[in-house]
């Protein structure tokens, strides 16, 4: 059994990506991973805080990191935005002593201190590097039999800091899909942006970016997409009908969390994985495996 | 005596923010602009923005819509041959624009960020439904109306929680104490 401190993030805990949280826990159990949720964590602040209230954004992250440091385990999150923001705080606190002094002072007001020792990991990193592809393959009960999957990494899991995969042409999700018996299709836009939170304030711009991603996936024969990011999943799934409407297109591409696809291959039930929360129905492509 | 220009002061202000210091290293190669998925929507491209800032065009830079179209996808950052943290630089410009009251009126992104932050500040977590409704009502109630189909499909699939996740009372007051202290310390620079 491996133990980690777990940071679900707002979306995957009680937000729109609940099913990501459920499937993360269900798949981790199969892989003998125990994810222990960080007590009383707060929102990481995501892009909005870091854009307009920098110091406060570092403090939001630092509170979580300080709480996690008391446990001494790696801090694992399934959310790409939480991942980039928490890591950014870690590296900026090391790089900018003046910033660290201010953050320390703010933390002290809450009776906390942070020494910079917490390693922040993405769930996918833990799966492919701590557990490994072979062990994951060994848990497969239902081979995905050549299901054509577009691995959509999105941006914030692979950039900006050198991490566990290439910043522009990542491979970990491709290998994982292949290990489940699926066929990862070539996907040039695999790490391009889906529009992120600008889908709310500048919808037209984001819909255009999403359309390009669907075009790329579909022209390479994908039957569905998988992603390790709650925001990417929501944008591609919940806004697919708006893309169709705006561009007079008829995309009908299910968008799954990578953990949901793993769960299907592990023989887990629909309820454990929350497949019914997907807005574009998944039955058409997954029925034969369930 | 050393003569200080308008350009020096603005560049120093930017450089004082974490990530902003790279502005002096730019060689105007345009890699950031070529990599940006949104450069065509910006009134000034990322590389132009740097050139303008270095020329001391403070008001033009801070009232630009460019940084508000930054998606934080970090493609520019990983490609910059000079190692400039371009995305952080955009965030630094956003912070300065807010501080100087110059943020662009041609985009609703600043208002969206503000609404997001207000919820996180008061609750410690982000209730997506409340935040989005609040933002649309604040900026464009008609848009709230047009969003009903998306909201309904999320609701039907069990993805719309009305209730916000709450921290413990101790956690809430601890977070408030930290954020209020941060506020009193000014910006990150």
Plot region of A79 (φ>0 → left; ψ -120 to 50 → alpha; else → beta): beta
**Cα four-point dihedral sign A176, A177, A181, A185:** negative
Same domain, B93 and B118: no
Determine the distance in angstroms separating the CA of B78 from the nearest CA of chain A, rounded to an integer.
6
| Rounded Cα–Cα distance for residues B24 and A139 (Å) | 52
Residues facing residue A257 across a β-bridge: A227
Residues facing residue A33 across a β-bridge: A2
How many degrees, rounded to 5, is the angle at CA A88 between CA A166 and CA B103?
110
**A window 189-218, beta carbon within 8 A of B:** 192-193, 195-198, 200-202, 205, 209
Count of alpha carbons within 13 angstroms of residue B85, beta-carbon side: 19
Tokens of A117: 């020792």
pLDDT tens-place string over residues B125-179 = 998 888 988 899 888 888 888 888 898 999 999 998 877 889 999 999 999 999 9
Please say whether the beta carbons of A127 and A176 come within 8 A.
yes
Of the candidate ranges A50-59, A214-223, B35-44, B128-137, the one whose mean pLDDT is the lowest = B128-137
Same domain, B26 and B78: yes
What class, spelled out in words, does domain A142-289 have in CATH?
Answer: alpha beta
Same domain, B140 and B67: no
Determine the distance in angstroms separating the CA of A51 from the nearest CA of chain B, rounded to an integer.
5
Measured between its terminal Cα atoms, the distance across chain B in Å is: 27
Tell me the average pLDDT across B26-55.
97
Same domain, B135 and B79: no
Q: Is B160 exposed, middle or buried (0-12, 13-18, 19+ CB in 10 A)?
A: middle
Q: Is A15 on the interface with B (CB under 8 A)?
A: yes
- Answer yes or no: do B74 and A60 touch at CB < 8 A: no
Q: Considering its fold, how many domains does chain B have in total? A: 2
Tokens of B101: 């009251």
**What pLDDT, on a 0 to 100 scale, did the predictor assign at position B80?**
97
Same domain, B26 and B90: yes
ipTM, two decimals, is 0.95
Secondary structure of B32-66 in HEC code, one letter for each residue: HHHHCCCHHHCCCCHHHHHHHHHCCCHHHHHCCCC
Q: Answer yes or no: is B18 within a domain.
A: yes
Please say whether the beta carbons of B39 and B117 come within 8 A.
no
Q: Name the residue among B124, B180, B183 with its Cβ closest to that of A43.
A: B124
| Rounded Cα–Cα distance for residues A100 and A57 (Å) | 13
Same domain, B122 and B88: no
**What pLDDT, on a 0 to 100 scale, did the predictor assign at position B187?**
80
Give the model's confidence band at B2: pLDDT under 50 very low, under 70 low, under 90 confident, else very high: low
- Answer yes or no: do B71 and A56 touch at CB < 8 A: no
Extents of the domains making up chain A: 2-122, 142-289
Torsion of CA A155, A160, A161, A167, to 10 degrees: 50
Q: Answer yes or no: is B1 within a domain.
A: no
Q: Chain B contacts of A10, Cβ < 8 Å?
A: 125-126, 128, 165
A161 pLDDT higher than 90 = no
Domain residues for B26?
6-99
Tokens of A264: 């299907």
Give the model's confidence band at B1: pLDDT under 50 very low, under 70 low, under 90 confident, else very high: low
Query: Which of B99, B124, B142 marks a domain boundary?
Result: B99
Residues facing residue A226 across a β-bridge: A151, A256
Tell me the average pLDDT across A53-70.
97
CATH architecture designation of domain A2-122:
Up-down Bundle (1.20)
B59 pLDDT higher than 70 = yes
Same domain, B37 and B118: no
């Amino acid at each position: 059994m491996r133990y980690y401190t777990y940071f679900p993030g707002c979306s995957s805990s009680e937000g729109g990506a609940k099913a990501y949280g459920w499937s993360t826990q269900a798949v981790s159990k199969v892989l003998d991973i125990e994810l222990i949720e960080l007590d009383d964590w707060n929102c990481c602040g995501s892009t909005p805080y870091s854009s307009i209230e920098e110091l406060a954004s570092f403090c939001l992250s630092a509170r979580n990191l300080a709480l996690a440091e008391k446990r001494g385990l790696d801090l694992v999150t399934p959310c790409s935005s939480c991942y980039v923001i928490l890591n950014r705080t870690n590296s900026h606190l090391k790089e900018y002593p003046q910033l660290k002094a201010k953050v320390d002072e703010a933390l002290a007001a809450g009776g906390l201190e942070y020494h910079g020792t917490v390693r922040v990991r993405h769930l996918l990193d833990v799966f492919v590097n701590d557990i490994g592809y072979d062990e994951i393959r060994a848990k497969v009960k239902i081979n995905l039999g050549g299901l054509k999957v577009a691995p959509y990494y999105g941006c914030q899991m692979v950039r900006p800091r050198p991490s566990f995969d290439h910043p522009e042409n990542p491979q970990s999700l491709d290998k994982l899909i292949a290990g489940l018996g699926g066929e990862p299709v070539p996907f040039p836009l695999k790490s391009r942006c889906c529009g992120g939170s600008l889908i709310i304030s500048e919808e037209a711009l984001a819909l255009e970016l999403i359309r390009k991603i669907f075009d790329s996936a579909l022209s390479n024969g994908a039957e569905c997409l998988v992603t390790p990011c709650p925001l990417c999943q929501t944008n591609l799934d919940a806004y697919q009908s708006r893309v169709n409407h705006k561009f007079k297109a008829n995309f009908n591409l299910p968008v799954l969390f990578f953990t949901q696809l793993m769960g299907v291959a592990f023989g887990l039930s629909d309820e454990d994985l929350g497949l019914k929360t997907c807005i574009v129905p998944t039955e058409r492509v997954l029925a034969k495996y369930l | 005596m050393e003569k200080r220009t308008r350009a020096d002061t603005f560049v120093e202000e930017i450089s004082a923010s974490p990530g902003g210091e790279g502005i002096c290293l730019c060689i105007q190669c345009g890699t950031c602009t070529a990599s940006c998925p949104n450069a065509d929507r910006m009134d000034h491209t990322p590389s132009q923005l740097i050139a303008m800032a270095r020329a001391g065009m403070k008001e033009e830079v801070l009232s630009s819509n460019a940084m508000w179209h930054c998606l934080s996808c970090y493609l520019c950052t990983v490609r910059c041959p000079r190692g400039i943290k371009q995305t952080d630089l955009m965030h630094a410009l956003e912070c300065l624009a807010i501080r100087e009251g110059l943020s662009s009126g041609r985009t609703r992104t600043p208002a969206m960020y503000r609404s997001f932050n207000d919820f996180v500040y008061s609750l410690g977590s982000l209730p997506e439904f409340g935040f989005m409704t609040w933002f649309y009502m604040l900026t464009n109630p008609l848009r709230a109306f047009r969003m009903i189909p998306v909201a309904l499909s999320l609701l039907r699939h069990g993805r719309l929680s009305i209730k916000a996740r709450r921290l413990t009372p101790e956690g809430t007051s601890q977070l408030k104490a930290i954020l209020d202290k941060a506020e009193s310390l000014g910006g990150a620079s």
